Structure 1
Amino acid sequence: MKKDIIIPKVDNVFVAIVQEEHHEYKTMDWNAYIINNKDVDLDTVLIASKGFSKDKITPVMRHSLKLLPARSYAKIEFMQERLLALNNEFKVSFFEGNQLFDKTYTFKKNTINENALQKIPLMQLKGVLMK
């Protein structure tokens, strides 16, 4: 029964949109990262991302990581500048031990910008963090 399904709360797993220099092209690019700020590894990490507004929607992008080690991060995807004007949603599912966890991270339109940059946990970069 639905009432018997226990959905555990996700703690210390974040999605960040980070601005970083692309060394080859000498540009400042926006990239999405998943951050595991836990003391345990995450197994079978699945991420579905999309951008949307009232009248626009991007195709869903799907990503997977077999393992995201404890206290680490991994790049999800490059974010084109025009995507920042849309709401950007990242649906993340993973196993911690034998327990399945699931969380949706949504960056509201136009909130990813240089004025919103903050220090990102575990990374030596600044970006916009969604907890």
Structure 2
Amino acid sequence: MNKDISPPAVTGVGVAVVPRQDTDEALWDIYLINLRDTPLENILITSQGYGSVDGVDKTTTILRHFHQTLPSREAIMIEPIQSSLFAISNEYWVSFNDGEHMLDKRYVFAPGTISEDTLVDLPVLDRPGVIQQ
């Protein structure tokens, strides 16, 4: 019976990694961006890093974030991230209500995909960063 249920695909929602401006530290920030014409409601985000660095398995703590709403065409900061974690996969699982449906999508930044060389102009934030949609 589960095969007969097909929830709508998540579109118009992105997770972006943005370098901090005006700082000497190697810190970046993770943002949730709503590119939709409707707000996101009851947003739950889990984040975790995992992978191998120099042959040693590395896993970060699972963090959970909740936001009541994210208006249309706006962004919210989820958490900071150190550039040393770009050598492992960084996963953000985003769930939210869309009318009567609860939608979710997994965004994974693979090792090496976040760097100064991969920056693009981000919508809504009007800053350079790396985005998964």
Give the TM interval when normalised to the shorter protein. over 0.9
Alignment of structure 1 residues 8-27 onto 2, 5 Å: 8-22=8-22, 27=25
1:41 corresponds to which residue?
Answer: 39
Please give the alpha-carbon distance, in whole angstroms, between the structure 2 residues aligned to 1:73 and 1:64: 14
Deviations 1:36-81 (A, max 9, x none): 0011011000000000004211110100100011110000000012
**TM-score, length-normalised on structure 1?**
0.92
| Paired residues of 2:15 and 2:107 also in contact (CA < 8 A) | yes
| Paired residues of 1:94 and 1:101 also in contact (CA < 8 A) | yes
> Kindly, what percent of the aligned residue pairs are identical?
39
2:112 corresponds to which residue?
Answer: 110
Please give the alpha-carbon distance, in whole angstroms, between the structure 1 residues aligned to 2:128 and 2:80: 16
1:4 corresponds to which residue?
Answer: 4
1:72 corresponds to which residue?
Answer: 74
Task: Determine helix, strand or coil for the equivalent of 1:31.
Answer: strand
Displacement of 1:3: 1.3
| Paired residues of 1:33 and 1:74 also in contact (CA < 8 A) | yes
Please give the alpha-carbon distance, in whole angstroms, between the structure 2 residues aligned to 1:42 and 1:96: 7
Please say which of residues 90-99 and 3-12 is displaced more in the overlay.
3-12
Look up the equivalent residue of 1:40 and give its one-letter code. Answer: T
| Paired residues of 1:48 and 1:61 also in contact (CA < 8 A) | yes
Say how many residue pairs are matched. Answer: 129
Please give the alpha-carbon distance, in whole angstroms, between the structure 2 residues aligned to 1:13 and 1:127: 15
Structure 1 residues not aligned, in runs of 5+: none
